[in-house]
Structure 1
């Protein structure tokens, strides 16, 4: 290594350097670093840390929220496009098209979260249809095989309870009853054809769904009479009454021609039909006589009576 010396005897290739560790600890340099940190922090705060409503970012966010509210309102509340107004019923049902429409009209009148119609495509399900159908038509058991077809159609089946009779309460209201005497609910529409009406002295307040109001023996008797009734007879049984409160054990079977049959409780249905056939053949031979009947009394085992309208016995 070659060194040069100046006139004072010092080496000229070397500078009078300061140790780095000492230079960075100087007070004025540390002050500059702190000042720059504060400037950088303030810049970050104003550029990205938060925003006001009147800043470009704030206005964009507010506009986006407004658009979201409008879209949701249109989808859930104002647009009828997503309200279910088409229904395909799989299998058979006793309900008419008007009765099925009534289910969906009622659902539409209901509100989800106070504003969304109850028949909205997004929220409607099988439970909603089942509940509304059961309320309107007690013989409906449930909606089954429920499917949705976007945007406003549903496909489902209707399982129906096996009702057997129409029960008439003491105030004239009608109720559907199954073969076991269990009340299925009030009848608000015309009953299906072929059902026998049963009259009872039970107050309507006790005829609640699930209540058992008639004994199975009487129901079995009524069902058997309907089953054995000859198809060739022009008149049909339309209603039966229990008259135990007037005459012990008496039943009355009313026909479509207006006259009725008196029978004892516990009578055998086969014997009753046979005895009725005999008196019609032997005593009541013409349609005119039969249609003028008030009643036929078959309560005695060895004798039958009949009474025509206008006679003292008919009063």
Structure 2
């Protein structure tokens, strides 16, 4: 069974700079890289690099940026047959600034991502019958993503929501979600809870449960992740590494989906996603930095992470 991704494809303009400028301030950067990105394309790439079969549904423009994105996806053996091309907008773009502490700031332009329609979903999948998981995020029109999520749920497909950008989240989106995987900023936007410790992450999990989403994974960066379910809650510690590029969303989501598709429970799957994410942040580029399965196995071996993957973490209740 395939993992289906409905999400964005963007060109990332990554500017490395000593410091992020304040409002009205000019700062000179050190280098500019043009890289493949987009939360959807990144997740689909992670799925492919980790050895699972996935399908990516998205939209790009008829421009060189779109050509380059398709070429990179094909290089990583991602099926691009369900990617729409439109003349109505240019390919989506994200400007990313990374400072010398590896903290990033982003400005995105939706572009062609906003031209994916419910009709395109129907053209790409037959009632999601060949899919076991749908990965969804919000860098497209609400009507389209809600349509895909609702249709997937009706056909027994597990729906995982990576809620970026959080400002686009609506109750219709939340009602069609089985597992939500926000970071700290997205959690604060949706719940009003600032995640400063594990207890506050648990509060956020309870808040999502009150909205009808019984399972959540609060990504807390260097503090790890909090997995919340109605019956059990665990904090999974972060793996200490030297961070080069903190952009990890697509890699985490793709790795989580791979593990769940392999029959792992949400706690085991989160540990696997944390290991993939730890290796990813040591590499530059949201998409090109995603590790292959061979690289991941070597990382696990070098860092003695077999016990981390196979053992229970701190159980909170």
Q: TM-score, normalised by structure 1?
A: 0.22
The structure, 1 or 2, with the larger RCO (C-alpha pairs under 8 Å, 6+ apart) is: 2
Q: TM-score, normalised by structure 2?
A: 0.22
Larger radius of gyration: 1
